[in-house]
Amino acid sequence: MAKRILLVADTGVTRFQLKNVLEKNGYRVFEATGGRQIIKDSFDSEMGLEDMSLVVLDMYLSDYDGKEILKEIKGRFSELPVIVLSTGQTREKTLEILEMGASDFLVKPVAEKEFLHRVTQGLKAPIDRSKAATPPRKKMLGAKDLTNRLHEEIQRSLRSDSPVSLISFRGRDRDLSILHQVAWEILRRIDSAFYLENQIVLLLPATGDKGVEVVQDRIFSEAKDEVNPDDLLIKSIVFPRDAQGELVENYKVGELTNFVLKNLSR
């Protein structure tokens, strides 16, 4: 049986585009044009929220604030995955949405491949984010994972005009292992920690200079008795500000990815 997805957006173009993508990939799509339909559970005469597998929710509705609708959905069906659509997302807004129970967020305009990937992930079993644990070493995110994720975040940054930042730590293996453990435990799901050879790289979407300082201070506060910052080589990059102008203007994502990775390694 096809998975049922509820698409909540008051913009016809958004609903039309996303519905086509979902139906083309075998999903059964139900539509709601505003929050009132969700509160009254009146988007379909035969189906209700309890029959849905996932909800795609636009934060900006004409009748209700999307956060009110998210709260309504999670209050009634806490395990129902909700992917939030938004514009001009900041780190603070993203964290607030995730804390309210959203399973994921996407910045508009949404690329089809990325949208389908997030829907697939959202339909999997819910993740208990209250129990952070360091993954086995063999499953640690490495250089290839960083390249793939950075490529995605650069595309998102260019589409949404929001920054993405990276922090690199170089030093002794012992210090890096401790920093990786601390980072994995305190970073939110929107962030990632990558363990490279002689280097830990943190990738922080929707984060500018202030966010970089906050994350860095938090990590060293947690590891203060075990790691001395003076023993490390620390470097941060805020994209797109620190990228080459002509690459950004020409939107050469592959070259931009290589440029950022190369500068992190210097």
Domain boundaries, the chain: 4-122, 137-264
Residues 129 and 41: their CA atoms lie apart, in Å, by 28
Give CA angle at 112 (44, 164), nearest 5°.
Answer: 115
Q: Answer whether residue 155 shows pLDDT above 90.
A: no
Residue 128's pLDDT is 43
Residues 108 and 110: their CA atoms lie apart, in Å, by 5
Residue 239: other Cβ atoms inside 10 A? 21
161 within 8 A of 233, measured Cβ to Cβ: no
The CATH H-level (homologous superfamily) assignment of domain 4-122 is: Response regulator (3.40.50.2300)
Helix then strand count (H, E) for the chain reads 10, 9
Q: Which CATH number fits domain 137-264: 3.40.50.11540, 3.30.70.270, 3.20.20.70, 1.20.1260.10?
A: 3.30.70.270
Q: Answer whether residue 129 shows pLDDT above 50.
A: no
Mean pLDDT of the 125-145 span: 56
Regarding pTM above 0.75, the answer is: no
- CA neighbours closer than 13 Å in the CB half-sphere of residue 30: 24
Place of tokens 């962030």: 191
Residue 132's pLDDT is 40
Helix axes 143-160, 112-122, angle to 10 degrees: 120
* Percent above pLDDT 90 for the chain: 53
Q: What is the pLDDT of residues 210-230, one digit of tens each?
A: 889 989 999 999 998 899 999
Return the closest-CA partner of residue 15 out of 39, 32, 28, 36.
32
Q: What is the pLDDT of residues 81-98, one digit of tens each?
A: 999 998 866 778 888 888
